[in-house]
Structure 1
């Protein structure tokens, strides 16, 4: 594998991705560590109090872990575009007895400062950031507190900016990754580079340790990432069907079918994210405006209702390109399959 990750001695070169919204349970995070890797507690869509409770639960298990935080800036939505999109989605909401008639844009920063304050007051081993690069002063403060700081990047320019901010390591994420892209430029198309080529391009820009992310589902792909310079591989979608995952059954079943292609869409949240193709992505990917978290909040009631009704056609089915390798098994078995 590539340059070792400082102060993080992994028995196996595998990291369980922070899947915000329910899949990454504390059981999944601790199972990843017990299997020789490490897991990340997702801070996304949680209050600081909820995050503190999750950290305490994982810490009580006595295993190493990290925390992933959505960093500003958000992507403001055009109010007129938001209203047009809400009106367009009304039939989907009406299918569950919901109304988007009075929906207004919710622009928030996911309790950013509260979470930074928490992580400085109660340090954790590793904090990773996605969507934005924190100020150099925040990175320095976390490092003084004894926390390693990792940054998700999707191209060499972002890698250089993260290095300039003083981070310890880079999570190099290709467009094949499931769920949200960590791109700092969500208005642009994602770089269509194979993960190994992206790792090489980033390595040419900075010597920081790299973690590979994006579509990884086999031991051969983990080994390939290592030969390209990665110290470890992040896996997410391949863990969604594991016993420890908190993913709803509708999501698990859609992955198990294995018949859908994956697409990059902003239809659900206003940011580019890769998921299984369904009726919602077919109808709304093109007209959906940029606007995160406004579109996330707009579609959330519809998505919750779809999950409760077992309807995969109106649900965000986040999935990377390697999703067909996900199996219904304990996480430890998945990690064993992925070890080169």
Structure 2
């Protein structure tokens, strides 16, 4: 599937709003491939998005969060919750006082994708069982897995996936690492593609901070079958990126990104702001507990137009991104 694209570009699944059905459709019309982001959505919302994209007649995929909880003790949660509540008080909101758990309705979403198969499904955060992958493939679905190291790629290949997405540390948003408490070696994307390609004989999609034609060309030259664009599409006309996020991406003063687990309890790359400065060192690991803890605060900050408390996901190439349609951006970045 990946090796047959007219344009070797993939629109990344960006959960929480940026990825829209219109973006996925536009990626397909441009000759590439787009993935819907099922993360944080209900199964009904996921199904509606699938129906919209399917009606266009283009190939597409759906990305699903694999259940990989990161546990947190009640004591560490309470300590961090107290810090977050001080911030929330200015918005007159109350945050969860005990950890909230959840698996993003994995089994329900998987059941829906098996009952009404889509062309492709990708997983991130963890590797589902070989039985799950086999069931999807038997349903005619192409299965891709996000990996961040050669070892993770080997595990994915052994589980039977069709393709791996090699995500470098430069990627915006959450790292797909299987071990959030032990981040993999920070290899440049070309080096990661090289070591993953040597480890598994599967198509490799390169992902992580790719924002220029030369970077895409280098990833393909290293052996990638396609390049995945995420941050590069955050200002696309079809994107659902929030106004506060778009403004921050266009702000010339925001030149740095940082890797932080302060927002959700899993490592993610974001534009540096007051929140990342003040809370990255204080934050414990703990997903999805910290996601549910800070979510009301982040939403309130966004509604108030305060970018200093918002999660402004962005890869290291964010200063290169521009406005335009997905088709135009694909055309500019395709070598």
Q: Deviations along 1:222-250, whole A, 9 cap, x unmatched?
A: 11001100000000011111111111111
Instruction: Say whether the 8 Å CA contact 2:211–2:321 is kept in structure 1.
Output: yes
Distance 1:190 1:92 in 2: 32
Distance 2:174 2:68 in 1: 15
Q: Deviations along 1:181-208, whole A, 9 cap, x unmatched?
A: 0000000134211111111111121111
Residues 1:304 and 2:299 aligned together: yes
Distance 2:330 2:177 in 1: 27
Match of 2:275 among 271, 276, 280: 280
Residue 334 of structure 1: SS of its match in structure 2?
helix
Residues 1:65 and 2:70 aligned together: no
4+ aligned runs moved over 4 Å, structure 1:
none
Q: CA deviation at 1:99?
A: 2.3
Match of 2:148 among 150, 154, 163: 154
Match of 2:160 among 153, 163, 166: 166
Distance 1:109 1:30 in 2: 28
Distance 2:49 2:307 in 1: 28
Aligned to 1:188: 182
Distance 2:293 2:242 in 1: 20
User: Please, what is the CA RMSD of the aligned residues?
Assistant: 1.1
The alignment's TM-score, normalised by the length of structure 2, stands at 0.98
Distance 1:245 1:161 in 2: 33
Instruction: Say whether the 8 Å CA contact 2:10–2:34 is kept in structure 1.
Output: yes
Residues 1:221 and 2:215 aligned together: yes
Instruction: Say whether the 8 Å CA contact 2:170–2:208 is kept in structure 1.
Output: yes
- Worse-matched range after superposition: 264-273 or 88-97: 88-97
Instruction: Say whether the 8 Å CA contact 1:76–1:107 is kept in structure 2.
Output: no
Residues 1:197 and 2:191 aligned together: yes
- Worse-matched range after superposition: 136-145 or 55-64: 55-64
Residue 19 of structure 1: SS of its match in structure 2?
coil
Aligned to 2:235: 241
Distance 2:79 2:184 in 1: 25
Match of 1:256 among 246, 250, 258: 250
Distance 2:61 2:45 in 1: 16
Residue 83 of structure 2: SS of its match in structure 1?
helix
Distance 1:167 1:210 in 2: 11
Aligned to 1:5: 2
The alignment's TM-score, normalised by the length of structure 1, stands at 0.96
Aligned to 2:77: 82
Distance 2:291 2:5 in 1: 35
- Unpaired runs of 5+ in structure 1? none
Q: Deviations along 1:112-133, whole A, 9 cap, x unmatched?
A: 1001111110100010000111
Residues 1:38 and 2:33 aligned together: yes
Residues 1:22 and 2:17 aligned together: yes
- Unpaired runs of 5+ in structure 2? none
Tell me the number of residue pairs that the alignment of Structure 1 and Structure 2 aligns.
Answer: 334
Aligned to 2:101: 107
Q: CA deviation at 1:63?
A: 1.5
Q: Deviations along 1:69-120, whole A, 9 cap, x unmatched?
A: 00012112211111100001122101211123x5221110000100111111
